Amino acid sequence: MTKQQLYRLLIHAVPPKIVSVQGHGLTRSAEQELLKLLRRHRCRGGVLRIFEDKHTSASYYFGEASKGRAVSEDTFFRIASISKMVTAMCVLKLAQQGCISLEEKLGLLPYPANLMQLMTHTAAIKDGADYIRALTQGGKLSEILKGDSYYQHQPGEKWAYSNLGAGLIASHLEQKMNLSFEKMMQGTVFEPLNAKASFYPQLIRGELADARRVLPPAKEPGFDARKRKAKPLGDADIPNPEHHYLLAQGNCCMSAESLQVVVNALIQPGYLNQEMLGYMRHAHAGFGEVSAHLKQGLGLFVLQDESISKAVLYGHQGNAYGAVHAAFFDPIEQKGMVFLSSGVSEARGDFLADVVTDLLKFSFGENQCLN
């Protein structure tokens, strides 16, 4: 029995948390289907929004954000790896403005690699033991890059998912632009789109959800929102490439409403021009044995799986501290969905979590579930 098979077996022993969903837009039967789905995956709490042509079709919130606090439509979440897609939007906007080039070399690395390779996980960078230690102990980027941070293959040769590689984007941009990554994201992405978000929990002006593992059950959240918000802010306002490599890959915090705004900006030209959107959605690399249905765009996934949707879907999954998130869209039908959680089953078949697969079927499938 594999670990995933054992996990799927054990998750059924965890009592469901959610007893109802609140919101609007779905038929009564679809609301019940959504509730069953969330209970089946042992969701602790979260938000689901389905939208089409810039209009919200359905918006639902459910369960707890943290102990003693219920999720509301205004709850913020740490969106984990969806941050990579948000970061890619900044890179592409700066490239569109002529401030940077996607092909420019990275002075941070001891070998030739470029921004595009960082965004497509083809830069031959891995999350080695030095990087894993840095997540809790900190450390200078230059020291981490002297250690076990590289694969044996050459840059551009193959796809290999790397959080450190995505984090290097922030360090490179700070070095290039002489501006802090947070200020860059605010001025380039969040403010122009009127999205309330930050890569620093301390700057979130609203309720921020915890993230807690459902299995194994944890007494304390892996991501404790109150503790994170209480930490000193530090050097968020100044460029510091040696230490800001832990932001871009997963530290963005935003509400589902703001994430919907961000995803909508990727559905049709406006924030980015057609050329940049096409380049972002292009399948630059395959996932190889990891997944037969996923390919890698610039900062997002290209999902082709007719068992989920007849259409090609684009977007990203987030998974950290027990929380699983998803943000995907269909540019042809101009339809999208976002799901943010405070904790849910982390079972997965290949790369996508089971709960994400089921929610994509629910949101993009042929069965009509909207009023």
- Taking the C-alpha atoms of residue 31 and residue 25, their distance in angstroms, rounded to an integer, is 9
- Collapsing DSSP to helix, strand or coil, 145 comes out as coil
- Taking the C-alpha atoms of residue 360 and residue 362, their distance in angstroms, rounded to an integer, is 5
- Whether the Cβ atoms of residue 346 and residue 324 lie closer than 8 Å to each other: yes
Q: How confident is the model over 175-220, as pLDDT tens digits?
A: 999 999 999 999 999 999 999 999 999 999 999 999 999 999 988 9
Cα-based angle 232, 235, 241 (whole degrees, multiple of 5): 135
Instruction: Tell whether the model's pLDDT for residue 370 goes beyond 80.
Output: no
Q: How confident is the model over 193-204, as pLDDT tens digits?
A: 999 999 999 999
- Which structural domains are found in the chain, ordered by start? 3-364 (3.40.710.10)
Q: How confident is the model over 242-296, as pLDDT tens digits?
A: 999 999 999 999 999 999 999 999 999 999 999 999 999 999 999 999 999 999 9
C-alpha torsion 341→344→347→348, nearest 10 = -10
Q: What is the mean pLDDT of residues 17-39?
A: 96
- Collapsing DSSP to helix, strand or coil, 194 comes out as coil
Q: How confident is the model over 47-100, as pLDDT tens digits?
A: 999 999 889 999 999 999 999 999 999 999 999 999 999 999 999 999 999 999
Q: How confident is the model over 134-166, as pLDDT tens digits?
A: 999 989 999 999 999 999 999 999 999 999 999
- Whether the Cβ atoms of residue 211 and residue 323 lie closer than 8 Å to each other: yes
Helix locations, 178-319, DSSP H: 181-185, 191-193, 225-230, 256-264, 274-281
Q: What is the mean pLDDT of the chain?
A: 95
DSSP string, 18-81: ----EEESB-HHHHHHHHHHHHHTT--EEEEEEEETTEEEEEEEEEEEETTEE--TT-EEE-TT
Tokens of 191: 């403010």
- Whether the Cβ atoms of residue 359 and residue 324 lie closer than 8 Å to each other: no
Strand residue runs (E) in the chain: 22-24, 45-52, 55-66, 69-70, 76-78, 197-198, 253-255, 285-286, 294-296, 301-303, 313-320, 323-330, 335-343
Query: Buried (b) or exposed (e) across 286-302, using 16+ Cβ within 10 A?
Result: ebeeebebbbbbbbbbb
- Whether the Cβ atoms of residue 210 and residue 223 lie closer than 8 Å to each other: yes
C-alpha torsion 300→305→310→312, nearest 10 = 20
- Whether the Cβ atoms of residue 248 and residue 89 lie closer than 8 Å to each other: no
The per-residue pLDDT for 367 is: 59
CA atoms within 13 A on the CB side of 274: 0
